Amino acid sequence: MAALNRIGGIALCHSEAHMNVDEFGAMGFYTGGARMAPVPGPLGRINPEALDRAIKRYSQDLAPAGQPMAVTITQATEVGTVYSVDDVKAIAEVSRRHKLPLHMDGARFANAIAATGVSPAEMTWKSGVDLISFGATKNGCWMADAVVILNPDVAKDLRLQRQRAGQTFSKARFISAQFEAYLTDDLWLRMAGHANQMAAHLAETIEDAPAGRLAWLPQANEVFAILDRATAERLRAAGAKFHEWGVPSGFEGHLGDNEAIYRF
Q: CA nearest 196: which of 105, 126, 125, 108?
A: 108
| Burial of residue 96 (number of CB atoms within 10 Å: 0-12, 13-18, 19+) | middle
How far apart are the C-alpha atoms of 225 and 260, rounded to whole Å?
8
Contacts of 154 (CB under 8 A, 6+ apart): 3, 4, 101, 130, 131
pLDDT score of 48: 98
Assign 255 a pLDDT band (cuts: 50, 70, 90).
very high
Q: For residue 161, what pLDDT is reported?
A: 82
237 membership: H or E segment, kind and range:
helix 229-237
Residues with Cβ within 8 Å of residue 260, at least 6 apart in sequence: 226, 227, 229, 232, 244, 245
Gap between the Cα atoms of 120 and 108, Å rounded: 13
Maximum pairwise Cα distance, the chain = 59
d(CA 262, CA 232): 8
pLDDT tens by residue, 33-71: 889 999 999 999 999 999 999 999 886 666 677 899 999
pLDDT tens-digit series, residues 120-173:
999 999 999 999 999 999 999 999 999 999 999 988 888 888 888 888 888 889
Q: In the chain, what are the domains?
A: 2-183 (3.40.640.10), 198-263 (no CATH)
> What span, in angstroms and rounded, lies between the C-alpha atoms of 131 and 151?
7
Confidence at residue 63, expressed as pLDDT on a 0 to 100 scale: 64
- Predicted pLDDT at 11: 95
Q: Is 164 exposed, middle or buried (0-12, 13-18, 19+ CB in 10 A)?
A: exposed
β-pair partners for 243: 263
Per-residue pLDDT, 141: 96
Q: How far is CA 132 from the centre of its chain?
A: 10
Q: How far apart are the first and last CA of the chain?
A: 29
- If you average pLDDT over residues 111-121, what whole number do you get? 98
More confident residue, 84 or 64: 84
Bridge partner residues of 13 (DSSP): 38
Average of per-residue pLDDT values in the chain: 93
With a pLDDT cut of 90, the percent of the chain lying above it is 75
Give the pLDDT score at 166: 81
Percent share of the chain, pLDDT over 70:
98
212-250 tens-digit pLDDT: 999 999 999 999 999 999 999 999 999 999 999 999 988
